[in-house]
A and B are shown apart, each in its own frame.
Chain A
């Protein structure tokens, strides 16, 4: 559609520096701390020499290959289900009037924030061997398959990660040109046909962008498989166990498994780029879609679908809130309700809430700026450098947080950076681990905006930096905000790296939750999780108020 995508010869401009900056970030925050990890993969366990023995072991042992296949199965099924939940939700809430859609969107975002470990335990409480939902359904003659294993992981993962799809798709659905859909309907296509042949292809970059994140998240998630996977082994649990195993002297196999995960990620990124580049439709953002009002049965059906999807994903949260009010005696839940669990954590609440907010907000401010600039390069400047940078920026998705945490302790506890024990190091972890969301979100939205608008600016004599500021940036606002919200919510929830880097005064909410789980005190863990949910919910609500729009629109960023 446009020449810009092919990358005409250009001279050094501001984007050259941004590209260099991107490599500097990858170098300092990822490659340097993780260099050891990568090196181990190519080092022989026994001799310590350069070798491919770890890779041969991976390829020759059924044990690893099976974990690999399990991982693929889980990630692909999760992605498919996320699309199945996310697309209808996004379409219905952006195109039709759904009562309480503001609430629906907020709850969907909160579902992303399934508190560490607790979310998976909630599913056990509901559908485990003695789960209350299972017992209730058993008593009316419905027998569910056991939750432990692939089924449970896919269920929990997809209900947690579908908001990535729904958020990004909704953002895109609101920026496409209405006249295209109208033309299709005027030419006699049914609305179903219009949806599949016109609307969906138009938002494909964002749909696949969201699907990519869901895929990556479920590919790299180890918490859920660890708790409800039973003995169903997947690559991240394998990598995590190998890395954290106390008897592993050289993490050769562990880093090999991580590199395999990274290769999968790189392959999927290429696939997504191919899918979104094959058909390019960009919008001038002139004719935005309108929200229709449904009546009668269609309206009831639309409501039912939306509420079912969001309701299911909110179930684990509801369980957490419920248990936070249950009375406890030591680690055991007893009859009756009260505020005992809250009383026990009262002392830690102000500090941890403050820390979580301060760190995540600073990180998100940085992420929004850097992510937007890098997203622009990935979408608009298809240079070799940008192509290399793209998968590199996905490393944070795949490297287990624990590994990054250990890398950071070693790298930033020596000259010239003495950062261990400071809040800076926690902010740095948030920044690097959540940067990919913003990069992805910004580049997806850009692929949907017609570069002709920017070219017009440049043709009129505006330098690239200024064109970006005055033309591109306002057009990208939707993508930037939705990316920032995803980064923020997931930063608030970061655990696996910060747990290794925190000191008493830099404790955050998820760390507190995890430490309660560690002690076996699920009452206090639920109470802290509830506080985490409530403050995040309030913050999202306030963002909506400040931006002066309805909750639904601000969440999807339009």
Chain B
């Protein structure tokens, strides 16, 4: 009897080991409404169970890094590309099936894969500012009239705030640091990038620097806000997807990644999340200007500005602290 049990148990184990993948574990920063729509859809399309853990994007990386000794998840889904690039040691390279359909401008390598394109824009409170008073370009945000009225997050904490810094550095090159410091003088730093448009919507701050899709949801919701595309350019950086090194369900993870980059899913994201597709064969989100009208559109070849920033960081005594002090001390 006992032997029989052992045999059956062993057989069961063997079957699980060789059977088609049955589940995939994903760490994600995706919004709930998207998860509620996409998770059942994936399970229906592939027959694989999707177990996701939703976290703030910084927590996704922290958790994956802390678990590197005994990996618990298979895929990281929708966190900033630059965050993935910075910690690509915990990622496993993978070339997705339809890699040739992905726009070259977003491609950085195959350690992590571009998932959607996101732009940094200004969100303005239309009750507090008349259209002629809107900030037009990045340096306008340093104007004295916006003192303590610019809402943003910490560039060393929030992925989107980090992108804003890179954005300023890319546009203003050598004077970029001073430009960003000027903007910081006026900033009220909020706890998470998600609350930036909320503070502008509620009239606590007049201008926010935030992601296009975040801002657009407030416009769509009928809040007293408008989107301003900076005339001196803005960066569309991809958020990414990546397979984790040592993933327990690596095969299922690959299936999941291919599914995320497939045309129907990319179109869903364009229509429902107002993100820009990374595929060349998808249109722009409804209600938003086509990408080409917002002027130069360089992608952060992620990692590169970060390296630059970090070397910059080491060359001075913690500019972050100098920077934060600069605005802490403003009277």
Q: Measuring CB to CB, which residues of chain A are less than 8 angstroms from any residue of chain B?
A: 61, 63, 117, 124-125, 128-130, 148, 223, 226-227, 230-233, 241, 244-248, 328-332, 334, 347, 402, 406, 409-410, 413-414, 418, 420-421, 499-500, 502-504, 515-522, 524
| CA gap between A499 and B53 in the complex, in Å | 10
Assembly CA distance A246 to B154 (angstroms): 10
Query: Do A504 and B53 form a contact, CB below 8 Å, given A63-B321, A409-B66, A413-B72?
Result: yes
Asked if residues B221 and A331 are in contact (CB atoms below 8 Å), the reply is: yes
Q: Is B41 an interface residue (CB 8 A)?
A: no
- In the assembled complex, the Cα of A81 lies from the Cα of B148 at a distance in Å of 29
Given contacts A128-B204, A331-B198, A413-B70, contact A227 B221 (CB under 8 A): no
If A247-B156, A247-B313, A413-B67 touch, whether A332 touches B218 (CB-CB below 8 Å) is: yes
Q: How far is the CB of A135 from chain B (nearest CB, A)?
A: 10
Residue B295 at the A interface, CB < 8 A?
no
A301 to B147, CA, bound (A): 45
Contacts between the two chains (Cβ within 8 Å), count: 138
| Shortest Cβ distance from residue A442 to the other chain B in the assembled complex, whole angstroms | 34
Chain A residue, CB-CB nearest to B328: A231
- A500 with B217: CB separation less than 8 A: no
Contact A128 B217 (CB under 8 A): no
**Residue of B whose beta carbon sits closest to that of A226:** B191
- Which B residues are CB-close (under 8 A) to A233? 324, 328
Instruction: Give the complex CA separation of A117 and B56 in angstroms.
Output: 14
B328 CB contacts on chain A under 8 angstroms: 231-233
How far in angstroms is the closest Cβ of chain B from A506? 10
Closest residue on chain B to residue A335 by CB atoms: B222
Residue from A61, A63, A347 whose CB has the most chain B CB atoms within 10 Å? A63
Chain B residue, CB-CB nearest to A521:
B32
Complex contact B157–A410 (CB within 8 A) = no
A129→B221 CA distance, assembly (Å): 22
Q: Which of B29, B56, B188, B218 contacts A148 (CB 8 A)?
A: B188
| B327 at the A interface (CB under 8 A) | yes
The answer to whether B43 has its CB under 8 Å from any CB of chain A is no
Q: What is the bound-complex CA distance between A502 and B162, given in angstroms?
A: 27
Residue in contact with B67 in the complex, picked from A245, A409, A520, CB distance below 8 Å: A409
Q: Which residues of B contact A128 (CB under 8 A)?
A: 202, 204
Q: Please, which residue of chain A has its CB at the minimum distance from the CB of B327?
A: A231
Q: List 14 A-B contacts (CB under 8 A).
A: A63-B324, A129-B203, A246-B83, A246-B156, A246-B157, A330-B220, A331-B217, A331-B221, A410-B66, A420-B67, A500-B62, A503-B51, A517-B194, A520-B198
Q: Are B67 and A330 in contact (CB under 8 A)?
A: no
Check A63–B191 contact: CB distance below 8 A.
Answer: no
Which residues from chain B contact A329 at a C-beta distance below 8 Å?
220-222
Which of the residues B32, B205, B220, B310 comes within 8 Å of A519, measured between beta carbons? B32
CB B312 to nearest CB in A, in angstroms, measures 11
The answer to whether B70 and A420 touch across the interface, beta carbons within 8 angstroms, is yes
Please tell me which one of the listed residues A227, A230, A245, A521 contacts residue B156 in the complex, with CB atoms under 8 A apart: A245
Q: Report A250 CB to chain B, min CB distance, Å.
A: 12
Question: Is the Cβ of B63 less than 8 Å from the Cβ of A500?
Answer: yes
Chain A contacts of B188 at CB under 8 A? 148, 230-231
Contacts of B202 in A (CB 8 A): 124-125, 128, 130
| In the bound complex, CA of A130 to CA of B204 (Å) | 6
CA distance A414 to B68 in the complex (A): 11
Residue of B nearest to A67 (CB): B328
> Contact partner of A334 among B198, B222, B325, CB < 8 A?
B222
- Is B114 an interface residue, CB under 8 A from the partner? no
Extra A-B contacts (18), CB below 8 Å, given A331-B217, A518-B194: A63-B321, A148-B188, A233-B324, A241-B154, A246-B162, A247-B310, A329-B222, A331-B201, A406-B66, A413-B67, A414-B70, A500-B55, A504-B51, A518-B29, A518-B56, A519-B194, A520-B214, A522-B198
- The 5 A-B residue pairs with the shortest CB-CB distance, nearest first, are A332-B221, A130-B203, A330-B221, A409-B66, A329-B221
A233, B61: Cα distance in complex, Å: 26
- Determine if A406 and B194 form an interchain contact, defined as CB atoms under 8 angstroms apart: no
A332 touching B51, Cβ below 8 Å: no
Cβ contacts under 8 Å, B156 to chain A? 241, 245-248
Residues from chain B with a CB closer than 8 A to the CB of A63 are 321, 324-325
Residue B263 is within 8 A (CB to CB) of chain A in the complex: no
Interface residue B223 (Cβ < 8 Å from any Cβ of A): yes
Q: Which residue of A lies closest to B210 (CB)?
A: A520
Q: Does B144 contact A (CB under 8 A)?
A: no
> When chains A and B are docked, how far (Å) is the Cα of A98 from the Cα of B111?
67
Tell me the smallest distance from the CB of B61 to a CB of chain A, in Å. Answer: 7
Interface size on B, residues (CB 8 A): 60
Summarize A's interface: helix, strand, loop or mixed. mixed
Is residue B287 within 8 Å, beta carbon to beta carbon, of the partner chain? no
Please, how many angstroms separate the alpha-carbon atoms of A547 and B309 in the complex?
61
A402 to B191, CA, bound (A): 15
- Answer yes or no: B52 CB below 8 A from chain A CBs: yes
B195/A517 in contact, CB under 8 A: yes
A129 in contact with B66 (CB, 8 Å): no
| Residues of A close to B310: CB separation below 8 A | 247
The residue on B at minimum CB distance from A129 is B204
Query: Which residue of chain A has the shortest Cβ distance to B55 in the bound complex?
Result: A499
- B221 adjacent to A334 (CB under 8 Å): yes
Cβ of B139 within 8 Å of any chain A Cβ, yes or no, is no
Name B26's closest neighbour in chain A (CB-CB): A504
> When chains A and B are docked, how far (Å) is the Cα of A520 from the Cα of B29?
13
Cα-based distance from A61 to B321 in the complex (angstroms): 10
Residue B159 at the A interface, CB < 8 A? yes
Segment 265-297 of B: residues with Cβ below 8 Å from A? none
Q: Which residues of B contact A420 (CB under 8 A)?
A: 67, 70, 72
Query: CB of B192 within 8 A of chain A?
Result: yes
Residues of B within 8 A of A413 (CB): 66-67, 69-70, 72
Cβ of B89 to closest chain A Cβ, rounded Å: 12
Taking a contact as CB atoms closer than 8 A, the residue among B54, B59, B69, B214 that contacts A500 in the complex is: B59
Contact with A along B157-180 (1 / 0, CB 8 A): 101001000000000000000000
Q: Which of B52, B157, B220, B313 has the most CB of A within 10 A?
A: B157
- In this complex, which of A331, A410, A500 has the most chain B Cβ atoms within 10 angstroms of its Cβ? A331
Q: How many Å lie between the Cα of A230 and that of B151 in the bound state? A: 11
The minimal Cβ–Cβ distance linking B155 to chain A, given in whole angstroms, is: 9
The answer to the question of B105 belonging to the interface, with a C-beta cut-off of 8 Å to chain A, is no
- Which residues of A have CB within 8 Å of B217? 330-332, 520
C-alpha gap A248/B157 in the complex (Å)? 10
**Minimum C-beta distance from B57 to chain A (A):** 9
Is B189's beta carbon under 8 Å from chain A? yes
A117 to B53, CA, bound (A): 20
Q: Which residues of A contact B11 (CB under 8 A)?
A: none
Known: A233-B324, A406-B66. A328 touches B58 (CB 8 A): no
B22 at interface, CB cutoff 8 A: no
Q: Which residue of A328, A406, A421 is within 8 Å of B221 (Cβ)? A: A328
Closest to A243 in B: B62
Q: Which residues of B contact A500 (CB under 8 A)?
A: 55, 59, 62-63, 66
* Neighbouring A residues of B205 by C-beta, 8 Å: 129
Identify B222's interface contact among A223, A332, A421, CB under 8 A: A332
Question: Which residues of B in the span 210-264 have a Cβ within 8 Å of any Cβ on A?
Answer: 214, 217-218, 220-223
- Hey, which chain A residues are within 8 Å of B189, CB to CB? 231
Known: A226-B191, A244-B157, A504-B52. A332 touches B324 (CB 8 A): no
